[in-house]
């Protein structure tokens, strides 16, 4: 089991540039989640998908943020234009549909984003 794969692991870019973060969930998982982690705000849920459909995007901070899941094995989180306050670690997680046995989320190792 390869686990959740995120790329890149580190990204440094200048303010105003477009940033694209990528995620490959665990095969067979129905749910995909995007989180942001900062010292000040902790772990925040940005958006999550069920069977490639966005279910709740209430955590997306602004219109500069967008997320897509074109198929069951790939998702992107884009920031355009990027700002220094977007600097954070972004995590992707996936989980199977649990039914009676509620399943945990499996996290990738994150993308550390620095906006200069």
Q: DSSP letters along the chain, please?
A: ----EEE-SEEEE-TT--EEEEEEPPTT--EEEEEEEETTTEEEEEEEEETTEEEE-TT--STTEEEEEEETTEEEEEESS--GGG-EEEEEEEE---TTSPPPPEE---EEEEE-
Which residue, 31 or 65, has its beta carbon nearer to another protein? 31
Task: Please report how close the Cβ of residue 78 comes to another protein at its closest, in angstroms.
Answer: 21
Task: Please report how close the Cβ of residue 81 comes to another protein at its closest, in angstroms.
Answer: 27
Question: What residues line the site for another protein (CB under 8 A)?
Answer: 4, 30-31, 33, 42-43, 45, 48, 50, 55-56, 91, 93, 95, 97-99, 101-110, 112
């Amino acid at each position: 089991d390869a686990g959740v794969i995120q790329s890149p692991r580190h990204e440094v870019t200048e303010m105003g540039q477009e940033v694209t973060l990528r995620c490959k969930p665990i095969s067979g998982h129905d749910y995909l989640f995007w989180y942001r982690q900062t010292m000040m705000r902790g772990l925040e849920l940005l958006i999550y998908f069920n069977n490639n459909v966005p279910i709740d995007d209430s955590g997306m901070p602004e219109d500069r943020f967008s997320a897509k899941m074109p198929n069951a094995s790939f998702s992107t989180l884009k920031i355009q234009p990027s700002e220094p306050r977007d600097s954070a670690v972004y995590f992707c997680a996936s989980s199977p549909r649990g039914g009676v046995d509620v399943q945990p989320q499996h996290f990738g190792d994150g993308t550390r984003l620095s906006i200069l």
